[in-house]
Amino acid sequence: MCGIVGYVGGKEAYPILISGLKRLEYRGYDSAGIAVLSPDGLAVRKCKGRVSDLEAHVNGTPMPGTTGIGHTRWATHGEPNDVNAHPHVSANGDLALIHNGIIENYAPLKEELISRGYRFKSETDTEVLVHLIDDIQRKEGTDLPESVRLALENVVGAYAIVVMDRKHPGMLVAARKSSPLVIGIGEEGDHYLASDATPIVEHTRNVVYMEDGEIAILDKEHGLRIRNIKNQEKHPSIQALEIQLEALEKGGFEHFMLKEIYEQPRSIRDSMRGRLNLAQSDIVLGGIKDYEKRMVNAKRILIVACGTSWHAGMVGEYLFEEFARIPVEVEYASEFRYRNPVINEEDIVIAISQSGETADTLAAIELAKGRGATIIGICNVVGSSIARVTHAGSYTHAGPEIGVASTKAFTAQVTLLTLMALMIGHRKGTINGAKFQQLLMELDAIPAKVERVLKTEAQVKYISEIYKDARNALYLGRGYSFPVALEGALKLKEISYIHAEGYPAAEMKHGPIALIDEEMPVIVIATQGASYEKVVSNIQEVKARKGKVIAIVTEGDTVVKGIADHVIEIPDTADALVPLLAVVPLQLFSYHVAVMRGCNVDQPRNLAKSVTVE
Ligand code: F6R
């Protein structure tokens, strides 16, 4: 949430900052702004809207200078407008600051600053920081890094900030607590800063992931220095970035979301690569090898996650219970952390997060870790905060997910959970050898089957045209398909703004059936498997009330074809693997409905990727 970029070095800052903001726009798009320092002073341009609006606002007027910062905002305090846009500037015009996070004690700090004569222009919590740093500089006579450090000693909350000062040209000071920041180290004194590595990769592959409580000083002349909040020097640990630049482009697709839906055969394959060994009938997850025994002996697994990742976690519950015979509880991270849950040292907590930065999931991890549980992470973003705070974990290897609506991350998470559950079941002996081998073969065949599902796109598009004006939609599924129904409903509502609900198919008769009328599309996952007949009965119940049924069925199905209004066929697979196939037409359906309704598919209203505030 909120994207931050910074540059200091020998090049013109503005083009670097603008292209960086475009890469980070998925983190928030309520307003955007840039500040550049030149020998003539500090130039600031900011406005409500997207980065393209900022470009239009700058309108070719040069912003020369080789030190600068940029911000794209997801509003927390204060509506999205020009004044609340970052950067915020001190009263004397010397300091400019950008911030991602929430300053929780901003109200008393603001009151105190006002009582000492500071005037606030915006409604943001952020503006407090710039006046506070300015105040310390005046009172203490300290330089910029020390003033930032002293200011942060007074601050409660989460932040990633970058500050520059007209009195210190050629320097950026950055600090982080619970919000991510990555530093890129280029050639000849060039330094980059960003909320994630995507704006940095085109300039350098050498990065330093900042840790909580660190303050970084990026200096054109003296290079990079890192201190902690207690002013102790730290040695920066430089890592090599592995992201490929093409992964950050649309590659000929109209939207990132569509590209990412189509990437799934590859991303699922990448999640299994080097882990699923068909020849030796084995699964090896290097990242959790040292914790395998503890997982095998676990009396209970807790899964914590949010949104789509929580839906993947629900699939994980079914998988671990079926194959490893371990009881599982799937928790919304945001609820888990506030209800004093019972956790003990034998518990395994699996934290799932695409971004690896979700504030609620991070807080749930800290809580469980504090009570002695073992934390296993499933993250997509390499080097992310969650990946670093967990005891062990496995990356999903889905590649950067830019579309705000999560697609390929979900299938990669489910793939990894499948590998984990099968591996633990195999080690534990709760799944027999023949079944294990058969499931490995089925899993190995999934990428090719997803390719086949993608061929239904034209048909899905045709169905989307019919239902694009619906006001409500119901998604039904049973067993492994229930989380898929939840995920399908979330996809539709978040990008097309149609109210949609996911339900266990059999629960429909306990309430939601009252909603069904001739207008209501009911999307049912009715593939062959343990509950097929029951779900067919549920479809009959919908049809008896004149509801419109769109059914996802197994190839060759004739029964549902005779009842439903539309059927979309997917290849046959094991029950446990159906989510990996059945979710794909639902992703395509929400995509096409949203496009037909003229919605901004990659950047839906009010949302942002990487939710770094509570
Ligand atoms: C929905 C979506 C969100 C995320 C949720 C958790 O399409 O993207 O619901 O799944 O914000 O994010 P991560 O997985 O980054 O922790």
Q: What is the mean pLDDT of residues 81-92?
A: 93
pLDDT tens digits, one per residue of 516-573: 999 899 999 999 998 999 999 999 999 999 999 999 999 999 999 999 999 999 999 9
Residue with more model confidence, 141 or 609:
141
d(CA 563, ligand 1 centre) in Å: 35
Q: What is the chain's alpha carbon radius of gyration, rounded to the nearest angstrom?
A: 25
d(CA 609, ligand 1 centre) in Å: 7
Judge if the beta carbon of residue 611 lies within 6 A of ligand 1: yes
d(CA 578, ligand 1 centre) in Å: 21
Establish whether 306 is a catalytic residue. no
Establish whether 609 is a catalytic residue. yes
Report the predicted TM-score, pTM, of the whole model to 2 decimal places. Answer: 0.88
d(CA 308, ligand 1 centre) in Å: 5
Rounded distance between C-alpha atoms, residue 357 and residue 378, angstroms: 12
Q: What is the mean pLDDT of residues 74-84?
A: 87
Please report the pLDDT score of residue 336 as a whole number: 92
pLDDT value at 77 more than 90:
no
Q: Which atom of ligand 1 is nearest to the CA of 361?
A: 16
pLDDT value at 59 more than 90:
no
Cβ atoms of 597 and 564 closer than 8 Å: no
- Nearest CA-CA partner of 567 in 548, 590, 547: 548
Rounded distance between C-alpha atoms, residue 125 and residue 104, angstroms: 8
* Arithmetic mean of pLDDT over the chain: 94
Please report the pLDDT score of residue 246 as a whole number: 83
Q: Which atom of ligand 1 is nearest to the CA of 381?
A: 15
Judge if the beta carbon of residue 196 lies within 6 A of ligand 1: no
In angstroms, how far apart are the furthest CA atoms of the chain? 81
Q: Which atom of ligand 1 is nearest to the CA of 307?
A: 9
Cβ atoms of 248 and 199 closer than 8 Å: no
Residue 50 φ/ψ, nearest 5 degrees: -95, 180
What count of other Cβ atoms lies within 10 Å of the Cβ of residue 527?
30
Percentage of residues of the chain with pLDDT beyond 90? 86
Q: Which two tokens stand for residue 134?
A: 């300015």
Please report the pLDDT score of residue 251 as a whole number: 86
CB pairs under 8 A, 24+ apart, for 550-554? 550/463, 550/467, 550/521, 550/522, 550/523, 550/524, 550/589, 551/523, 551/524, 551/525, 551/526, 552/523, 552/524, 552/525, 552/526, 552/527, 552/582, 552/585, 552/586, 553/526, 553/527, 553/528, 554/527, 554/528
- Where in 306-387 does DSSP place strands (E)? 328-332, 348-353, 374-379
What count of other Cβ atoms lies within 10 Å of the Cβ of residue 469?
11
pLDDT band at 392 (very low <50, low <70, confident <90, very high): very high
pLDDT band at 38 (very low <50, low <70, confident <90, very high): confident
Please report the pLDDT score of residue 283 as a whole number: 97
Please report the pLDDT score of residue 457 as a whole number: 98
Please report the pLDDT score of residue 254 as a whole number: 94
CA 88 to chain CA centroid, Å, is 27
Please report the pLDDT score of residue 405 as a whole number: 95
Ordered domains of the chain (ranges, CATH): 3-247 (3.60.20.10), 270-453 (3.40.50.10490), 455-600 (3.40.50.10490)
Please report the pLDDT score of residue 76 as a whole number: 82
Please report the pLDDT score of residue 610 as a whole number: 74
Judge if the beta carbon of residue 361 lies within 6 A of ligand 1: yes
pLDDT tens digits, one per residue of 112-131: 999 999 999 999 999 999 99
Q: What is the mean pLDDT of residues 19-40?
A: 91
Instruction: Give the total residue count for the chain.
Output: 614
Atom 5 in ligand 1: residue holding the nearest Cα: 307
Judge if the beta carbon of residue 603 lies within 6 A of ligand 1: no
Atom 16 in ligand 1: residue holding the nearest Cα: 353
